[in-house]
């Protein structure tokens, strides 16, 4: 017993030592602050986006939404047990997908537009074919031992899921089996995002760490720390060289993959609510972050300043998304409405 403990302590010490060395290496390359570099850039000024559409249709809290690659259709999931597929241009509901389990927490649109996936407290990721006459369940991906917090399609044959059982997983949709299991987090995985080149993805978890994974090898390539509470949302900067995270500690952070560390933080003493979701405008200049204070605040990603706010929801903003063509931003809330702004 004592020998085991001694071994553990020695390992812990070695680990801490290595971590300290990594921190030192990171510090060594941290030779510039964002405020210094962005000093010469023109300020964005006050960004005031108008509400363009208010999509009503759900009867309970909206937990997740995802844009289709055509930038026109969008799928949203609510705990009233339905997925709704919208044509955001006309505001019409194109399809309603009834769910077996109403406790849905995530939804995803396949790039082809043929499939949507959803999952939640049932631990299962269900994939539906929405191009059929009526939505048909294509696959039920059942192997996670915790709730499904996020999912993203790589193509019509592969999907990546993040779960409360602390793992992320790559599934083969033809066989419905797990292909790669990504284990390294020590807390519930809350969200994931695919890199623009689709060779890797990032995940944020309740252990306050963000991790970069290589899809092919299944290994964790990089770990980013700095947050002091659960990371709820994560997104790639459009160039693919940096990631933005949003956390329950009320701040967002940008981590650069090449510098291997945080390069800018987005926090404000007046903001006392956790971040639930993040999305970036096409150029990466604006960050739209949904908070628990019922608002979506807009940050200038380069200067680290708050430049606007989207107010209008009556409850927590649970999901945010910018379509591929960058036309505007959609916010979904626990007040059961989706709002489109630009």
Binder among 119, 284, 321, 332 for other proteins (CB under 8 A): 284
- Subset of residues 48 to 87 that bind other proteins, contact rule: CB under 8 A: 48-50, 52-53, 60-61, 63, 71-72
Q: Does 45 bind other proteins (CB under 8 A)?
A: yes
Q: Which two tokens stand for residue 25?
A: 């290496």
Closer CB to other proteins, 47 or 143, in the complex? 47
Q: How far apart are CA 207 and CA 228, in angstroms?
A: 9
Q: How far apart are CA 324 and CA 328, in angstroms?
A: 10
- CB of residue 12 vs other proteins: minimum separation in angstroms? 6
With the CA atoms of 10, 16, 17 and 19 taken in that order, what torsion angle do they form, in degrees rounded to the nearest 10? Answer: 150
Q: How far apart are CA 203 and CA 190, in angstroms?
A: 7
Binder among 143, 181, 194, 263 for other proteins (CB under 8 A): 263
- CB of residue 42 vs other proteins: minimum separation in angstroms? 9
Q: Which distant-in-sequence residues (6+ apart) come within 8 Å of 94 by Cβ? A: 73, 85, 86, 87
Closer CB to other proteins, 53 or 93, in the complex? 53
Closer CB to other proteins, 51 or 132, in the complex? 51
Q: Which letter does DSSP use for residue 43 in this model?
A: P
- Subset of residues 80 to 99 that bind other proteins, contact rule: CB under 8 A: 88-89
Q: Does 267 bind other proteins (CB under 8 A)?
A: no
* Torsion over CA: 155, 239, 323, 119 (sign): positive
- Subset of residues 197 to 256 that bind other proteins, contact rule: CB under 8 A: 197, 206-207, 216, 220, 222-223, 229-230, 232-233, 237-239, 241-242, 248, 256
């Amino acid at each position: 017993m004592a020998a085991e403990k001694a071994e553990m302590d020695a390992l812990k010490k070695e680990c801490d030592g290595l971590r300290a060395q990594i921190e030192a290496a990171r510090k060594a390359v941290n030779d510039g602050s964002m405020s210094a570099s962005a000093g010469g850039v023109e300020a964005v000024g006050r960004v005031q986006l108008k509400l363009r559409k208010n999509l009503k249709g759900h009867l309970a809290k909206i937990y997740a939404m995802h844009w289709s690659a055509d930038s026109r259709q969008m799928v949203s999931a609510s705990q009233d047990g339905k997925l709704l597929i919208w044509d955001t241009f006309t505001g019409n509901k194109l399809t309603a997908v009834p769910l077996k389990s109403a406790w849905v927490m995530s939804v995803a649109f396949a790039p082809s537009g043929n499939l949507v996936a959803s999952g939640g407290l049932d631990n299962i990721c269900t994939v539906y074919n929405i191009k059929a006459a009526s939505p048909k369940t294509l696959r039920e991906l059942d192997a996670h031992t915790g709730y499904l917090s996020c999912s993203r399609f790589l193509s019509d044959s592969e999907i990546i899921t993040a779960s409360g059982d602390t793992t992320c997983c790559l599934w083969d949709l033809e066989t419905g089996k797990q292909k790669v299991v990504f284990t390294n987090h020590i807390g519930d995985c809350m969200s994931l995002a695919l890199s623009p080149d689709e060779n890797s993805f990032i995940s944020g978890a309740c252990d306050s760490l963000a991790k970069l994974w290589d899809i092919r090898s299944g290994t964790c390539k990089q770990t980013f720390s700095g947050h002091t509470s659960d990371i709820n949302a994560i997104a790639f900067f459009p160039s693919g060289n940096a990631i933005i995270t949003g956390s329950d500690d009320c701040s967002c952070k940008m981590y650069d993959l090449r510098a291997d560390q945080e390069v800018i933080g987005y926090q404000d003493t007046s903001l006392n609510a956790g971040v639930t979701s993040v999305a970036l405008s096409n150029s990466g200049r604006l960050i739209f972050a949904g908070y628990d204070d019922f608002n979506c605040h807009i940050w200038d990603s380069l200067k680290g300043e708050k430049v606007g706010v989207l107010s209008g929801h009556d409850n927590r903003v649970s999901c945010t998304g910018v379509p591929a063509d960058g036309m505007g931003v959609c916010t979904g809330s626990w007040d059961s409405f989706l709002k489109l702004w630009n």
